[in-house]
Structure 1
């Protein structure tokens, strides 16, 4: 069975902050099964976000939130415990991949977060950008060094688009991650500029998603669509993305896309 399809809420952050319940209902209406929160708990509070997701019939896949480490750890854990999040996802900064020493220093924060989260029955997941793949040391990518240093309890959320930007083949990365890769961020576009790329509906950009996501890799449970800086209507882009991924049998949604037969 293909992984379930969801939405990373940064995609519809403005719409959700204007109408949380209505936005979630529209996502469910397209056929999406879950959402990864971003920027909503701070705006509405965790209980309202939790209740709105449940009322829309959606699953809370994960919370995109800073690592619960250092002085803010308890506040972040309290907040996400009330939200009902089981997995907290975040990244290290680009400059933390400037050297092996910088990677080791940054990983301490992630591993501290994993330990603190475990005390609450939660897990941490690491989300990549492009520096993890574009930088290498003694023939090994920064990403491989990172994985070696991360606590074994830390899951992975692979952003396939940024992996391509870093010069990696996300299909091969996924195959190497095995069961550790719980989530895949699915975005599409020209894959030219980290700061300036305008995204397009999934299947209309550079990435071959059937190849990238079609292999029988044991880990991913969710394909999370994230679209940034669009030149088309956001919900239309999400509808077309859903149609491509679910229509091709790459992802599993609540219903077959309009005009297709369920696979």
Structure 2
């Protein structure tokens, strides 16, 4: 059995040194920090990436979007991917498929959602020619939003056959679905397990459209999601990465939560 490598994303408190924080995660045993976007906000991205590599960490992906008809510069994405030494590009924010968290209060029309899915597929094909996987990161609304009774998530899976998935375990569970079963259904289209967990109760985030109800997040492995079942399914599907995130902290500090999550994941026997 090939265990998944542990990664982290988020967990970047305000007013901390980015590289010093990554050094702490490397010392805890994490192998990856997911998104390389920070490096490309700096004057010398390659210098930042080299520093990260020297810590024993690597980046996993770059982020992009096809929101509101925008289409990324594929050549520039490929250039950045080569510099960062990543082989995946992810869509974390969209318009139609991300409507509940985006700058709009209304459900997208079917045609708008389908156009966005078409653009996802187009981008996946173009990046695939360069040896780069394009993945979609789910939240709960792709399962709650339906057209003619079909969840939007399954429309993405069916109509964008070259798109891979980063399955957010917490959001899948919060939407009322079984994330372990979803991983088994998607099989080798899953490239990352996004390890988010939550407990009973709710909270809210202030977005441009007002307050958005979200789960009461908790340290991965201490909530309602059966991580062991999800990891088992992930290993069976050939997933190589398990990346933790916790949007809001309550009782533990950043370092305490990251350390605890890593220990819990290792204890399942599926993550190292």
Alignment of 1:122-133 (within 5 A): 122-133=132-143
Unpaired runs of 5+ residues, structure 2, are 101-106, 206-213
Provide the C-alpha distance between the structure 1 equivalents of 2:167 and 2:123, rounded to a whole number of angstroms: 19
Moved more, 85-94 or 123-132: 85-94
Contact 2:36 / 2:59 at 8 angstroms: preserved in 1? no
Residue of 35, 38, 55 corresponding to 1:37: 35
Q: Which residue does 1:242 correspond to in 2? A: 262
Provide the C-alpha distance between the structure 1 equivalents of 2:50 and 2:88, rounded to a whole number of angstroms: 18
Alignment of 1:54-133 (within 5 A): 54-66=53-65, 70=71, 72-91=73-92, 92-93=94-95, 94-95=98-99, 98-133=108-143
Q: Which residue does 2:227 correspond to in 1? A: 209
Provide the C-alpha distance between the structure 1 equivalents of 2:225 and 2:134, rounded to a whole number of angstroms: 27
By how many angstroms is 1:203 displaced?
Answer: 1.5
By how many angstroms is 1:206 displaced?
Answer: 1.6
Unpaired runs of 5+ residues, structure 1, are 253-263
Contact 2:26 / 2:55 at 8 angstroms: preserved in 1? yes
Q: Deviations over 1:207-259 (max 9, x none)?
A: 1211222235323110000111112211110000001110221312xxxxxxx
Provide the C-alpha distance between the structure 2 equivalents of 1:164 and 1:244, rounded to a whole number of angstroms: 19
Q: Which residue does 2:153 correspond to in 1? A: 143
RMSD: 2.5
By how many angstroms is 1:136 displaced?
Answer: 2.3
Provide the C-alpha distance between the structure 2 equivalents of 1:28 and 1:89, rounded to a whole number of angstroms: 23
Provide the C-alpha distance between the structure 2 equivalents of 1:67 and 1:85, rounded to a whole number of angstroms: 20
Q: Which residue does 2:209 correspond to in 1? A: none
Decide whether aligned partners of structure 1 residues 218 and 197 sit closer, same or farther in structure 2, where only a CA change above 3 A counts: closer
| Higher percent of residues as strand | 2
| Higher percent of residues as helix | 1
Provide the C-alpha distance between the structure 1 equivalents of 2:109 and 2:121, rounded to a whole number of angstroms: 18
Q: Which residue does 1:261 correspond to in 2? A: none
Alignment of 1:13-52 (within 5 A): 14=14, 18-37=16-35, 39-44=37-42, 45-52=44-51
Provide the C-alpha distance between the structure 1 equivalents of 2:203 and 2:173, rounded to a whole number of angstroms: 11
Give TM-score scaled by structure 2 length.
0.81
Q: Which residue does 1:257 correspond to in 2? A: none
Residue of 230, 238, 243 corresponding to 1:219: 238
Alignment of 1:114-193 (within 5 A): 114-152=124-162, 154-190=163-199, 192=202
By how many angstroms is 1:71 displaced?
Answer: 5.7
By how many angstroms is 1:119 displaced?
Answer: 4.3
Provide the C-alpha distance between the structure 2 equivalents of 1:29 and 1:246, rounded to a whole number of angstroms: 15
Runs of 4+ off more than 6 Å: none
Q: Deviations over 1:128-157 (max 9, x none)?
A: 1111111223332211111111142x2211
Q: Which residue does 1:256 correspond to in 2? A: none
